[in-house]
Structure 1
Amino acid sequence: MSAVWLHVGQCGNQIGEEWWQILTRENVPHAEADRYPFCSPDGKLSAICVDSEPKVVRKLQKQVKSGSFRKNNLIVGKRGRGNNWAYGYHGLHSANEKNLLERTMESLRKEVERRDCYCGTMLFHSLSGGTGAGLGSRLCEAIRDENSLGQILTVTVAPHQAGESPLQHYNSLLCLSWLQRHVDGVLLFQNDAVLRRTAALLGKKAPVSDMQPQVSLSAMNTYVASCLAGLFYPLKAFTTGSGISVGMEPWELLRSACPMPTMRFLHLAQACKRQEWGLSHHVKSDSEPLRWGTVFWDSLASSVVHSLPRESHAGQPHYSTSVLAVARSYQEDTFLLSRDSVLRKLKQAYHEAYPWNPFSLSCWTDSLNIVEPGCHSHLLTICANHGSSAELLQQVVARAEAMYETNAYLHWYWRYGCEEADFQQAFETLCSVADDYSRLGE
């Protein structure tokens, strides 16, 4: 029982809704012992849900199993933060509403005290909104100051490049720089990439048609949540002798995937296939399940690397400092038999930057696929510290800089306490990180 799960803003709580629905399913085998990393001793989820408006948090409370959340951990305000990082970071200048930051940190302290062993905080948020980006940045800073030994891992969603808000480039710039300074790892999801991946998955299941499958926001959030479940649902390898997980998966992930302190942005991809045996009269030999399992793992690896951005717009290949593969299947042995083939394929696709690093490619396995429990399925989740993060950072810097040079919308940031130094430091921080990623493989 090591983590506190913190959802901030509309996006953070919407992903949280899908995440907790997966974790609180009734039909998951041996789930009771595996729920300890997510629950307090009294059975309540160790989760804090924060938003400056009540609508999304109230919906989450209704959709997830009744009684799962602690009432005092559902923290809402009465007015939004105007999609403004400065407004979210500095908060209201009014005594009429108790500070969201104060209330959240108070709940966090109590959750930390309920932990048998507190190791860190998982924070879910977006880069574009005032609450998710601004308050999320302030919370990362406050949590780091108050619990300096605890780690912070964020689930961060970047907005569509086509535009969600006129202030999204400023918000992303400032939030990303705060994350680089105050957190240990960033699981970075880009809405455009999530949309493409979700559409591809829906397209496979939908009837053959010339029409592009419609992708709902809920479907995109479900994909993000399933990637997280593939990574963080307890594995037998990390359980104690009693069979109860202590929830070390997020922190073992950081040790595996963030070997370089200056590069903390992680790319996730996932593929899942259900194994079908064909006609009912077909008779399987003893070796056939293993043979079919090997075929499935090779197919899943190909599916994952197919969606991977291989090179920059300038034609330069992307490299990785580290790659972690998590394989879940009711036939765990089938992955072990095809392990070398799968890892070789991943190594070629992700372009290992440091061949001298003996731990640059790791794999975890488990017999329970939490995403599709109770069926013959294979799930492969890949987390990589990948150079494609530089593309996003460079785009954010370029677009924010173009607006900054014309003084566009800056008065909204000065109005709520932001200063020029905040922007200058943010530009320098992200340019430095992007350069580090761009130099991988040299």
Structure 2
Amino acid sequence: MAQTHPLPPVTTVTRGGGGGGDCPPGDEENIQQKMSLIWLQVGQCGNQIGQEWWQILSSNVAEADRFPYFSRDGLINAICVDSEPKVIRKLRQQVKNGYFRDNNIIVGRRGRGKNWAYGYHGNSTGAEKNLLERTMEAFRKEVERRDCYSGTVILHSLCGGTGAGLGSRLCEEIRDTYPAGYILSVTGAPHDTGDSPLQHYNSLLCLAWMQRFCDGVLLFQNDEVMKRVASLVEKKTFTASGLQPSVSLSSMNAHIASCLAGLLCPVYSLKTKSSVSIGLEPWELIRSLCPMSTMKFLHTSHVSRRGAPSWDKVTSSVVQSVPRADPHGRLHHSLSVLAVARNSQDYSFLLSRDSVLMKLRQAYRCVSWNPSPVYCWTDPLNIVDPSCHSLTVCANHSSAADLMSGVLCKARTMYNAGAYLHWYRRYGCEDDHFQMSFEILNSLVDEYRGLGVP
């Protein structure tokens, strides 16, 4: 299993409190360049979420904080990969204030049939140059542009052929080629009612590969995201009795991007004394929330409020969306929790900090054997909307086992019946891949189910 890796000793940054580490005058640019990270967007879902993410970053992040996300030449630190060009073409049109490096746009000529095996193993006919080779070559060049490669954030889905299959293969290749770097996955799980008849196999295999090769996984379930966005729409607009408010795919992706902005945009707590961001947010998130390398699947909740609301009320709104128990009535627990508060220059959160963290510790049912289960970051500005207070909470939460248990049950039923297996075998996916994935997920479910056991 992949282990977490220490960052290179470039600077000293304190976790969670005000202020940061020491940074000699004039060394800010060197530190920024050394701590640069690479963003990797794979498949339709990954690039659509990436589109919303880069619109936020390119429009709102201050110039001094751009280097962990942009190169010195001003180009975006992202590699965009898809087996078809349509989504990436739209991405480049929509992100107005940022530019992608031409060599970092990797597209194929046809899709991967929503088939993990086809995405993972690629096109064996040789009709087009292998997407994996082209992506890894672009990745190598991005690594060489910076003094020190610190890690990758990969955006993808669990059920698409490109996002799940190629995304899994890229995580494996990056881990093998650059073992010292972190890998943080941002992944979308399909609707429970079904996006594709192959989604249960794809999710099974992709989850197993994320467990093997990633250091942390921000897991967004489509049904939960849709429910959350619908509740926000319902508060803003009048809906006829008995009718569900309309929720677009774009609004769901925008919500996920807002969660990412709450967690991964620069925070004052992790800046140097010169107020320079060195891009530690993704890696401190992993180190705070994934102290055990076998449990790395993270649940995220995000609330934004205009004006000057009570932080206790904001916290109550956040914890409403936290799953309380599994389908069998067993209470969920958390290994660790991170709260990121961004407010409108008034520092009011500091007055409520202790009560907010206590409420989070209780609502997320933090395990008693973790002596420091709750971390807190703060920043005096919400870059998504400066007029709002926002609270983003990320937890290593046992509700991840509910998704995995459902995937295991449905995939096992299909596998025992031999359904669709020929579609995987024709692209080189053998029974060993499935058996290993079943074992990995079964073990992971048992570990998460055991979180609350004394």
TM-score bracket for the superposition, by shorter chain length: over 0.9
1:242 aligns with 2:255: no
Q: Partner residue of 2:446?
A: 435
Aligned runs of 1:52-201 on 2, under 5 Å? Answer: 52-65=83-96, 68-201=99-232
2:447 partner amino acid: D
Q: Partner residue of 1:421?
A: 432
Change (3 A) 1:332 1:402: farther
Report the TM-score, using the length of structure 2 for normalisation.
Answer: 0.90
Aligned runs of 1:349-388 on 2, under 5 Å? Answer: 349-353=363-367, 355-373=368-386, 375=387, 377-388=388-399
Q: Choose which of 310, 314, 317 in structure 2 pairs with 1:303.
A: 317
Secondary structure at the residue paired with 1:123? Answer: strand
Instruction: Report the CA distance between 1:314 and its aligned residue.
Output: 0.6
Report the TM-score, using the length of structure 1 for normalisation.
Answer: 0.93
1:347 aligns with 2:361: yes
**Seq. identity, %:** 62
Q: What CA deviation, in whole Å up to 9, does each residue of 1:18-70 have, x standing for no partner? A: 00000011xx3x71111111111111000000000000000000000266100
Instruction: Report the CA distance between 1:357 and its aligned residue.
Output: 2.2
Give unmatched runs, 5+ long, in structure 2: 1-34
**1:274–1:378: 8 Å Cα contact kept in structure 2?**
yes
Tell me the distance in 2 between the aligned counterparts of 1:332 and 1:116: 37
Secondary structure at the residue paired with 1:68? Answer: coil
Instruction: Report the CA distance between 1:208 and its aligned residue.
Output: 5.6
Q: Partner residue of 1:266?
A: 298
2:57 partner amino acid: L
Tell me the distance in 2 between the aligned counterparts of 1:349 and 1:332: 26
Q: Choose which of 48, 53, 69 in structure 2 pairs with 1:38.
A: 69
Tell me the distance in 2 between the aligned counterparts of 1:237 and 1:340: 16
Aligned residues between the structures: 418
Instruction: Report the CA distance between 1:332 and its aligned residue.
Output: 4.8
Q: Partner residue of 1:5?
A: 39
Tell me the distance in 2 between the aligned counterparts of 1:103 and 1:358: 46
Secondary structure at the residue paired with 1:380? Answer: strand
Tell me the distance in 2 between the aligned counterparts of 1:175 and 1:332: 43
Tell me the distance in 2 between the aligned counterparts of 1:296 and 1:272: 12
- Detail structure 1 runs of 4+ shifted over 4 Å in the superposition: none
Q: Partner residue of 2:259?
A: 227
The root-mean-square deviation of aligned C-alpha atoms, in Å, is 1.2
Instruction: Report the CA distance between 1:235 and its aligned residue.
Output: 1.1
Tell me the distance in 1 between the aligned counterparts of 2:146 and 2:200: 37
Tell me the distance in 2 between the aligned counterparts of 1:226 and 1:360: 24
**2:58–2:97: 8 Å Cα contact kept in structure 1?**
no
Q: What CA deviation, in whole Å up to 9, does each residue of 1:340-382 have, x standing for no partner? A: 11111111110011x2423210110001101213x2x110000
Instruction: Report the CA distance between 1:241 and its aligned residue.
Output: 3.6
**2:164–2:202: 8 Å Cα contact kept in structure 1?**
yes
Q: What CA deviation, in whole Å up to 9, does each residue of 1:43-102 have, x standing for no partner? A: 100000000000000000000026610011010000100000000000001233111001
Q: Partner residue of 2:15?
A: none
**2:344–2:381: 8 Å Cα contact kept in structure 1?**
yes
2:304 partner amino acid: C
**2:345–2:381: 8 Å Cα contact kept in structure 1?**
no
Secondary structure at the residue paired with 1:204? Answer: helix
Give unmatched runs, 5+ long, in structure 1: 276-292
Tell me the distance in 2 between the aligned counterparts of 1:401 and 1:424: 10
Q: Partner residue of 1:319?
A: 333
Q: Partner residue of 1:288?
A: none
Q: Partner residue of 1:281?
A: none
Tell me the distance in 2 between the aligned counterparts of 1:225 and 1:216: 14
